[in-house]
Copies of this chain bind each other. A is one copy, B any other.
Amino acid sequence: MSDSVKYLLPEDRIPRAWYNLAADLPAPLPPGLHPGTGKPLGPDDLAPIFPMALIAQEVSTEREIEIPEPVREIYRLWRPSPLVRARRLEKALDTPARIFFKYEGVSPAGSHKPNTAVAQAFYNREAGIKKLSTETGAGQWGSSLAFAGSLFGIEVKVYMVKVSYNQKPYRRALMETYGATCIASPSNETASGRAILAANPDSPGSLGIAISEAVEVAAQNPDTNYALGSVLNHVGLHQSVIGLEAIEQMEMAGFWPDVVIACAGGGSNFAGLAFPFLGKKLREGKDVRVVAVEPAACPTLTRGTYAYDFGDTAHLTPLMKMHTLGSSFVPPGFHAGGLRYHGMAPMVSHARELGLIEARAVHQNPCFEAGLLFARQEGIVPAPESTHAVRAAIDEALAAKVEGKPRTILFNLSGHGHFDMQAYMDYLSGKLEDRDYDETALNASLDQLPKIAAE
């Protein structure tokens, strides 16, 4: 009946070093710029909000960066994560393609986010930091940092986008269960939040606003650092455990993927799976297509401009060269809250500019259709974000069927959907809309991109 096959690694195969794509890129990554001076960032610019170990990782071009033993020990709570050949799904699609997925939903918070949350909490504790501030949209990142904070005795304060704070009380409850404090953003606790509320008391908030609040708190309190769950180089670096394990597991299965697929919001689960495969391609010439999938309603890679932009709304963050819809862009409502960011990881954007990766945008109804089919064949209900990768994997498998040739597909199932059942209810009841972004508003947002003399 079921012959879906799970490939498991023993615990001693948890990677001992993270993989850094920067070492293998044919052209260096454009540097981050100081938001005031427009000059390349130095370590001192970031020291008020990050520990020095993470700042060093952010700019490192070393290929391998050792994973500290206490971090590996905590990884053992759920790693190595399974890689599964989805034979039941293959049969349901009647495709000659081989479909593999790497499953990151086995972590305590239910997604890939703890891979970096644990590392960030560790380095901050080593630096003597007792408090971390952060932002969260749908809550995957906030609950992961709350989990990591509880393990290392760090107080975690999470600014949660207000509309999600109200709509997703259970994610908030998860953060509080782990001992974190969760605050609806915009809040009255920060100047950034008060400014937004003064202009619009009913603001539903946004990731960009919440980042501003969390950065402000960290910048102004010497005992508090800031943690970001995606976008930055060190975050993608920590996520490389996904791809490093997957390479070994694909070897166990006896296949090299023709195509590697992941959804992309800020880019971290995508980088985590794809970059180690890209490294093999760059170093050893092993051919592989790499596909980032994003929501059609927030099409950063497929419709954004590659330019220097701020990571937040209040323009407190450094300027990063990335694909961006502009920091004032507000996407229409859709359920994959983790994919609602205006920008993209600079390293992912750079790889796209170098022609190393493909990108495609999909609407949410076809994604949930794919998620439902996947759940009924493989048993796991994908997170709304992850359904984007499932959709693209199914489309690749259907293309192989039309072609009548096998194709080996690997995608990242970055998390489970147990906290997102409202989205499935809406889909099942036919209430989900496939809304597009407002072209005029996007153009207005892009018009406001900062003018950088250096460019």
Contacts and interface: CB of A to CB of B under 8 A. Distances in A.
Contacts of A73: 1-3
Contacts of A106: 106
> Interface SS of chain A: helix, strand, loop or mixed?
helix
Contacts of A151: 1-2, 88, 379
Given A1-B151, A177-B421, A178-B375, A6 B76 contact: yes
A5 to B, nearest CB: 8
Interface string A128-168: 00000000000000000001001110000000000000000
Interface string A57-77: 000000000000010011011
Interface string A290-305: 0000000000000000
A422 interface: yes
A222 interface: no
Contacts of A441: none
A147 B421 contact: no
B170 A422 contact: yes
B77 A177 contact: no
A421 B170 contact: yes
A430 to B, nearest CB: 13
Q: How many copies does the complex hold?
A: 2
A52 interface: no
A376 B178 contact: yes
Nearest to A108: B379
B173 A2 contact: no
Nearest to A107: B379
A254 B2 CA distance: 34
Given A170-B422, A418-B419, A422-B170, A10 B11 contact: no
B6 A11 contact: yes
B11 A8 contact: yes
A379 B3 CA distance: 31
A174 interface: yes
Contacts of A425: 169-170, 173, 176
Interface of A: 1-6, 8, 10-11, 70, 73-74, 76-78, 84, 88, 106, 108-110, 122, 147, 150-152, 169-171, 173-174, 176-179, 372, 375-381, 418-419, 421-422, 424-425, 428
